[in-house]
Amino acid sequence: MTNQITTGEAGAGTGMSYTTNMAYSSKSVEWFTPECYVEAARRVLGFIDLDPASCKQANAWINAVCYYTALDNGLTKPWGASTIWLNPPFNMSSAFAARMVHDYQLEVFGQGILLCKFVPNYEWFQQLKQFPMVVTSKRVSFWKAYQTEGDSRMDGAICFVYFGPNKDKFYQEFKQFGDIVTFS
């Protein structure tokens, strides 16, 4: 069953609104980030203040001070934080990426890292091309909640997009996973 939820403003004073399709089922759609990437993010960010698309199980190793679950709908909550780690559901990447760019430009948060599919020809991805980015050189094996067997590797490249003043530190930590990509 899929419910369409139209939200109000995305956090106080952002002026943005989102329509999200949230699928509910007995099986989880949670795909958790491998710890090596989270550790690299922590070395860049210092700590993770907010994860706006998470759950209790994932936060066991993300260790965000604050996190929002699917039921919280992080797109509708305030993102005022020092640092943000974000691995959104890939079917909602466009909305979460737009919010990340918007809030960073308004200085709602100090620095953050977004993990998403590398899809440079998609319209929603265009806004990310202005930020430092590393694209993975091999498939990422995510841990899927409630997975009993099967392949948890995502097809296609994954990228990490950095928002903040420490671009060199970001590149230093993340180039071990792939290639630095810049767009002209």
Per-residue pLDDT of 150-167, as tens digits, reads: 444 455 688 999 999 999
Long-range contacts of 11-18 (CB under 8 A, 24+ apart): 11/76, 11/77, 11/78, 11/79, 11/80, 11/103, 11/108, 12/78, 14/99, 14/102, 14/103, 14/106, 14/108, 16/98, 16/99, 16/102, 18/75, 18/76, 18/95, 18/99
Does some domain include residue 13?
A: no
Domain residues for 134? 29-181
Does some domain include residue 8?
A: no
Does some domain include residue 162?
A: yes
Does some domain include residue 35?
A: yes
Report if pTM > 0.85. no
Does some domain include residue 65?
A: yes
Does some domain include residue 9?
A: no
Domain count across the chain: 1
Does some domain include residue 22?
A: no
The CATH number for 153's domain is 3.40.50
Does some domain include residue 20?
A: no
Q: pLDDT tens across 8-64, in order?
A: 333 434 444 333 333 333 344 566 677 888 999 999 999 999 999 998 988 888 899
